[in-house]
Amino acid sequence: MDHGTQAVDEAAARLAGVLGVSPLQRSARLSARVGGEVWLKREDLQPVRSYKGRGAYNLIAQLTTGQRTSGVVCASAGNHGQGVAFACHALDVRGRVYVPRTTPRQKRDRIAEIGGDDVEVRVVGDTYDEAASAALADSASTGAVLVPAFDDLRTIAGQGTVVREVVDQLGRLPDLLVVPVGGGGLLAGTVSWLAGRGTTVVGVEPAGAACMAAALAAGEPVDLEALDGFVDGAAVRRAGAVTFPLVRDSGASLVAVAEGRVCTEMLELYQADGIIAEPAGALAAAALGDVVHPAPGTTTVCVLSGGNNDVSRYAEVVERALVHEGRKHYFLVDFPQEPGALRRFLDEVLGPDDDITLFEYVKRSNRETGPALVGIELGRPEDLAGLLLRLEAAPPQITPVPADSPLFRFLL
């Protein structure tokens, strides 16, 4: 038996009776989209609302008595911290979880609730890297065992139990397995167990945080110069030193999905399927029909990796989805400072299904014109050509705000 397969099988034995088997559900919507069978592995329904409890428990369960006495420590943007908290509470091990200030309070509260008296949440710095440095320093000074989110063979084996369950539930190997990728723990565990079995594996990264693709291109893990943190569960600056060679040698493919497409899929999961997915949880499904095209009639499984989404983020999710779909656009309009200017703009420029969703106007009494920032939502993406023609013919000077401008990033 291959060592990776054996490690995953042993992890599954440790998890038996500790974590329930998450459902494998057929998605009629996604099946229709690709012309084949699509199933969702619902890791969002785990006790910690993600697969992270698997790896954390598998690692901590293997610690010696002395190591357990010293306790554990980790850094997390949210999900891994909940997994560690779950394991600590289940195994009666003391733990400290370091999170940056940017971690939503909902996730902080969940870590504290799951861990109970066994876990202390410490908020340090403004970025994950700062929290990680604090956790590393804690481990060095106290002797507490550092529990990596992905870069440890024990964590990787625990995450690999997801695909093992998939095959048991499906009763056969899927033709295609699509998994989200951050630091690579879930993908590494998946390919370790599936090695040589014939299933095609595709890892999906956020376009603004494709660290594993960067590592493969460079031949080793490298730091991303820029990082879009929107898909927070997969926004990792550097792929793991342990996960990288496993992914590199597996033959798995990597693709990237735009953050706006992820938002569109989050809304479709919610509105059509009644599933609350976090951005990373929607990554795999977002790739289907966009950058991943299963062969007609084949069976595909997508891992829906997590559902720890803060409801306050949905306004941004809707905004990003509309922009991605080509239905939301912004313009700087230099209006004449005279009565009726706005009314003429509405009558002459807007189409019958268009709507103004943002209007920020600053009147300047010492000038003949005054600037306004105008957001327009179209009824259909194809209505843009007509809108641009009407804008060009309108009297005010009108400048589109491109998606790569600092002003546009401020709006989002």
Distance CA(247)–CA(212), nearest Å, equals: 9
Residue written as token pair 């600092």 = 406
Distance CA 294, CA 288 (A): 8
SS3 371: strand
Please name which of 263, 332, 276 lies closest in space to residue 305, comparing C-alpha atoms: 276
Here the tokens at position 328 are 């939301």
In terms of Cα–Cα distance, which of 259, 294, 293 is closest to 278?
259
Contact at 8 Å (CB) between 295 and 329?
A: no
Q: Which residues contact 54 (CB under 8 A, 6 or more apart)?
A: 11, 15, 19, 83, 158, 159, 161, 162
Look up residue 163 and give its amino acid: V
Give the distance, in angstroms, between the CA of residue 20 and the centroid of all CA atoms in the same chain.
Answer: 23
Active-site residue (options: 22, 50, 192, 305):
305
DSSP 274-327: -----HHHHHHHHHBTTTB-PPTT-EEEEEE-B----GGGHHHHHHHHHHHTT-
52 is catalytic: yes
Cα-trace Rg, the chain: 24
41, β-bridge pairs: 24, 303
Task: Tell me the pairing of strands 299-304 and 328-336.
Answer: unpaired
Active site residue 305: yes
Catalytic residue among 22, 27, 41, 52: 52
Q: Which residue is listed with tokens 């991303």?
A: 224
Catalytic residues: 52, 305
